[in-house]
C-alpha cells in the first residue's frame, strides 16, 4: 500500500526548484550551494531568497512526510522502514548542517533590518534565537539522543503480556480497564503493571543517560541547565519557567479539588470505599463501553454529518480529504500505533493516520486530527511562504485548533454516532478527561522542571521527586501496596524520553480550546468565524495575538484556571446522567 499522492491537485507551482529532483544528497547539495552562494544585496533579493529557501523546506518536509506515512502505514515492509531510516540517519544530519550555513548567511545579511516587520518580525526572532544556540558539536549529541530514544521505543514495544491466551501490548491491555467486571480489570491492570516494572531498571538507565546528554547539550550552548536552553530552543517567547510554575499552582488550587470531587462521585456511584487504579476509566454506572460505529465507513460518514452541522467551509475541507483518500483510519496488522495529522507541505494537503477500533475515543481522535487538518487548509491562504506549514506552528496554538474541534462537535453526536443518553455519556467523559488532562500536564511538566534543574541525582532521588509531584496533582485512587507502580509510572510517558519539555503546550492549548468551546455554545457563528480567522494567520503572529484572534484570552495562571474550573464543573454537571 504505497502512498500515491501524484493525483492530488497541485495548485502551488514551484518558482525556484527544478521539476525533477532526486531526494538524496546529490540531488539536494546543488540547491543548498546555490542558495549559499547567491549575493543578497537588497531587501527584495533577501525576500526572494527566503521564498526560494521556503520552497526547498517545503519539498524536504513533504518528502520526509511521505516516507513517514509509508513506514507507519506498513511497519512490516522493510523497504519503507529503510527509506525512512536513510532519511533520518544519513540525509537529515547533512540537511541540518546545510541549513545552519543558510542561517549564518541570513544572520549576516544587512538587508534583514529592512524586511517589513509585520510579516518577518517573528520569523527574524526565531532565526536569531536558533542561530544563538546552534553548536556544531551538538549535532552529534542530538544523534546520540535519538539513538537512546529508539532504545526506549524498542524496550516499550517489546513489553507484551499473555492474557486470555493471546499476546498483547500494554496499550491493548488498557481496553480491559473499561470492563464492568472489577476482578477482570484488576487482573489485567496487575499483569500489565508487573510487566512494566520488569523493565524499570533498563528504562531508568536510558533516562539517566538522556538527562546527562541533554545537560551537556545545554552547557555546550552556554546555558546553566537544559530547562533554560529548551525554552530558547522551543521559541517560547511569550512565557517563562515561572509562568509554568504558576500554572502548576493554579492546577493544584483550582483543578485538583474538582478532580477529587469527580473521583468521590465515582466511588459513590460504583459503591466502593476505596478507588483502585483499575477503577478510574470504567463507566461508573457499570454500563458497557460506548460503541459509536461498527465499520470504518460509519466513522467517516458520522464525522461528516457532525462537521456539516458545525460549518460549511470546514465541512467541505473534510469532504475533500475523504474524496482524495487522505484518511487512513482503520486499525490493521502491521500498522504503527497511535494517530497523527501530517502535512504534505508542497501540495499543502493534510493526511490523517489513526487506529480506529470502534471506540468513543476514535470519534474524538478523528475530529481532533480534523481540527489540525483545518489548520493546514486555512493556512493555504497565507501569503508569506515560510509562515505556511506545520513545521513552524507553535504547538500551544496548533492544539487549540484540534482540541476545540473535539469539544465543539460533541453537541452534534446525537444521530451521527449515538442515540438515547449515549451522546451525553460521551461528552461527560470528554470533560472529565479534560480535568484529568490538566492535572497530568502539571504533573509531567513539574517533574521535568525538577529533573533538569537537578541534573545530578540518583535514581532513588528521582523516584522520590516523582512521587511527591504525582501526589500533589493526583486524584483519589489508592496506591497502597502498589507503591512501586506509582514510583515508575512516569516511565510510560514517552514525551519524557522522546520530546523533553513538550507537554505544557497541551495545558496552554486546553485553556484556549475551552474558551472557544464556551463561546461556541453562546454564539456559534462568531466563535467559528474567529476560529477560522485565527487559523488562517498561520504562525506569523505571536501566541497572545493568535489567541486574541480566536476570541479567547491568553493566560494560564491561577486566575484563568479558577474560571476554567468553574466552566468544567458546570459542563460535567450538565452531562451527568
Note the residues at the interface with Zn ion (CB under 5 A): 402
CB of 534 to Zn ion, least distance (A): 16
Query: What pairs with residue 350 in β-bridges?
Result: 343
Pick between residue 226 and residue 397 the one whose CB is nearest to Zn ion. 397
CB of 406 to Zn ion, least distance (A): 9
Pick between residue 168 and residue 436 the one whose CB is nearest to Zn ion. 436
Q: How many CB atoms lie within 10 A of CB 215?
A: 20
CB of 401 to Zn ion, least distance (A): 8
Pick between residue 341 and residue 426 the one whose CB is nearest to Zn ion. 341
Q: How far is CA 337 from CA 58, 71, 138, 191, 565, in A?
A: 26, 12, 31, 21, 33
CB of 185 to Zn ion, least distance (A): 28
Q: E-strand spans in 151-281? A: 160-163, 166-169
Q: Which residue bears the cell 503546550?
A: 505
Pick between residue 279 and residue 369 the one whose CB is nearest to Zn ion. 369
Pick between residue 67 and residue 375 the one whose CB is nearest to Zn ion. 375
Structure-block grid coordinates of residue 407: 469539544
Closest CA to 389 of 323, 456, 352, 341: 341
| C-alpha span between 125 and 535 (Å, rounded) | 21
Closest CA to 424 of 413, 435, 432, 408: 413
Q: How far is CA 296 from CA 289, 331, 332, 391, in A?
A: 18, 10, 12, 30
Pick between residue 258 and residue 403 the one whose CB is nearest to Zn ion. 403
Q: How far is CA 476 from CA 39, 81, 262, 273, 502, in A?
A: 65, 43, 9, 11, 26
CB of 371 to Zn ion, least distance (A): 8
Pick between residue 63 and residue 402 the one whose CB is nearest to Zn ion. 402
Structure-block grid coordinates of residue 498: 522522546
Pick between residue 402 and residue 427 the one whose CB is nearest to Zn ion. 402
| DSSP letter string, 94-117 | HHHHHHHHHHHHHHT-GGGGGS-H
Q: Residue 196: phi, psi to the nearest 5? A: -65, -40
Pick between residue 388 and residue 402 the one whose CB is nearest to Zn ion. 402
CB of 472 to Zn ion, least distance (A): 26
CB of 368 to Zn ion, least distance (A): 6
Strand duo 160-163 + 166-169: pairing: antiparallel
CA dihedral 291, 297, 299, 304 (to 10 degrees): -140
CB of 365 to Zn ion, least distance (A): 9
Strand duo 349-356 + 327-330: pairing: parallel
| C-alpha span between 15 and 441 (Å, rounded) | 43
Name the residue with the smallest CB distance to Zn ion: 402
| C-alpha span between 545 and 23 (Å, rounded) | 38
CB of 347 to Zn ion, least distance (A): 21
Per DSSP, helices labelled H in 474-503 are: 483-487, 494-498
| DSSP letter string, 30-86 | HHHHHHHHS---SHHHHHHHHHHHHHHHHHHHHHHHHHHHHHHH-TT-HHHHHHHHH
CB of 408 to Zn ion, least distance (A): 15
CB of 402 to Zn ion, least distance (A): 4
- Answer yes or no: are the C-beta atoms of 353 and 339 closer than 8 Å: yes
Pick between residue 402 and residue 518 the one whose CB is nearest to Zn ion. 402
Q: Which residue bears the cell 475533500?
A: 320
Pick between residue 71 and residue 402 the one whose CB is nearest to Zn ion. 402
Pick between residue 402 and residue 426 the one whose CB is nearest to Zn ion. 402
CB of 299 to Zn ion, least distance (A): 18
Pick between residue 189 and residue 506 the one whose CB is nearest to Zn ion. 506
- Answer yes or no: are the C-beta atoms of 413 and 306 closer than 8 Å: yes
Pick between residue 176 and residue 397 the one whose CB is nearest to Zn ion. 397
| C-alpha span between 568 and 254 (Å, rounded) | 11
End-to-end CA distance of the chain: 45
Q: What is the CA radius of gyration of the chain?
A: 24
CB of 510 to Zn ion, least distance (A): 11
CB of 333 to Zn ion, least distance (A): 25
C-alpha dihedral sign at 149, 338, 393, 554:
negative
Amino acid at each position: 500500500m504505497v502512498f500515491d499522492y501524484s493525483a492530488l491537485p497541485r495548485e502551488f507551482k514551484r518558482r525556484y526548484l527544478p521539476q525533477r529532483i532526486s531526494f538524496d544528497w546529490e540531488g539536494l547539495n546543488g540547491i543548498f550551494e546555490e542558495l549559499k552562494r547567491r549575493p543578497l544585496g537588497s531587501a527584495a533579493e533577501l525576500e526572494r531568497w527566503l521564498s526560494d529557501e521556503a520552497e526547498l523546506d517545503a519539498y524536504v518536509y513533504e518528502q520526509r512526510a511521505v516516507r513517514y506515512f509509508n513506514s507507519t502505514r506498513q511497519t512490516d515492509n522493510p523497504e519503507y522502514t529503510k527509506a525512512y531510516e536513510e532519511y533520518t540517519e544519513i540525509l537529515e544530519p547533512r540537511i541540518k548542517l546545510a541549513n545552519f550555513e543558510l542561517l549564518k548567511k541570513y544572520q549576516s545579511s544587512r538587508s534583514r533590518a529592512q524586511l517589513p516587520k509585520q510579516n518577518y518580525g517573528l520569523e527574524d526572532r526565531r532565526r536569531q534565537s536558533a542561530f544563538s544556540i546552534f553548536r556544531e558539536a551538538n549535532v552529534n549529541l542530538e544523534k546520540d539522543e535519538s539513538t537512546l530514544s529508539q532504545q526506549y521505543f524498542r524496550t516499550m514495544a517489546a513489553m507484551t503480556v499473555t492474557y486470555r491466551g493471546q499476546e498483547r501490548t500494554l496499550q491493548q491491555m488498557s481496553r480491559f480497564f473499561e470492563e464492568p467486571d472489577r476482578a477482570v480489570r484488576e487482573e489485567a491492570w496487575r499483569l500489565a503493571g508487573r510487566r512494566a516494572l520488569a523493565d524499570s531498571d533498563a528504562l531508568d538507565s536510558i533516562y539517566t543517560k538522556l538527562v546527562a546528554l541533554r545537560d551537556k547539550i545545554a552547557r555546550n550552548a552556554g546555558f546553566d541547565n537544559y530547562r533554560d536552553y529548551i525554552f530558547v530552543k522551543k521559541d517560547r517567547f511569550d512565557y517563562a519557567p515561572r509562568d509554568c510554575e504558576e500554572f502548576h499552582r493554579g492546577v493544584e488550587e483550582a483543578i485538583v479539588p474538582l478532580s477529587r470531587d469527580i473521583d468521590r462521585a465515582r466511588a459513590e456511584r460504583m459503591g466502593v470505599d476505596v478507588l483502585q487504579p483499575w477503577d478510574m476509566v470504567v463507566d461508573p454506572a457499570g454500563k458497557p463501553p460506548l460503541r459509536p460505529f461498527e465499520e470504518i465507513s460509519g466513522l467517516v460518514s458520522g464525522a461528516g454529518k457532525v462537521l456539516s452541522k458545525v460549518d460549511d467551509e470546514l465541512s467541505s475541507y473534510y469532504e475533500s480529504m475523504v474524496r482524495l483518500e487522505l484518511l487512513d483510519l482503520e486499525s490493521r496488522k502491521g500498522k504503527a500505533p497511535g494517530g497523527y495529522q501530517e502535512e504534505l507541505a508542497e501540495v499543502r494537503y493534510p493526511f490523517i493516520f489513526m487506529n480506529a477500533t470502534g471506540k468513543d475515543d476514535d470519534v474524538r481522535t478523528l475530529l481532533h486530527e480534523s481540527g489540525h487538518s483545518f489548520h493546514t487548509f486555512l493556512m493555504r491562504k497565507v501569503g508569506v511562504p515560510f509562515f505556511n506549514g506545520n513545521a513552524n506552528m507553535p504547538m500551544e496554538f496548533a492544539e487549540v485548533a484540534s482540541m476545540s474541534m473535539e469539544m465543539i462537535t460533541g453537541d452534534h453526536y446525537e444521530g451521527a454516532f449515538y442515540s438515547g443518553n449515549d451522546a451525553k455519556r460521551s461528552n461527560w467523559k470528554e470533560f472529565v478527561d479534560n480535568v484529568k488532562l490538566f492535572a497530568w500536564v502539571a504533573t509531567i511538566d513539574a517533574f521535568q522542571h525538577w529533573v533538569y534543574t537537578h541534573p545530578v541525582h540518583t535514581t532513588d532521588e528521582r523516584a522520590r521527586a516523582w512521587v511527591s509531584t504525582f501526589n500533589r496533582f493526583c486524584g483519589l485512587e489508592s496506591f497502597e501496596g502498589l507503591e512501586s507502580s506509582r514510583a515508575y509510572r512516569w516511565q510510560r510517558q514517552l514525551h519524557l524520553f522522546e520530546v523533553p519539555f513538550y507537554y505544557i503546550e497541551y495545558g496552554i492549548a486546553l485553556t484556549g480550546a475551552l474558551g472557544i468551546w464556551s463561546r461556541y455554545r453562546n454564539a456559534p457563528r462568531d466563535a467559528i468565524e474567529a476560529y477560522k480567522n485565527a487559523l488562517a494567520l498561520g504562525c506569523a503572529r505571536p501566541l497572545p495575538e493568535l489567541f486574541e484572534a480566536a476570541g479567547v484570552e491568553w493566560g494560564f495562571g491561577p486566575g484563568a484556571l479558577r474560571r476554567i474550573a468553574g466552566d468544567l464543573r458546570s459542563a460535567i454537571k450538565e452531562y451527568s446522567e
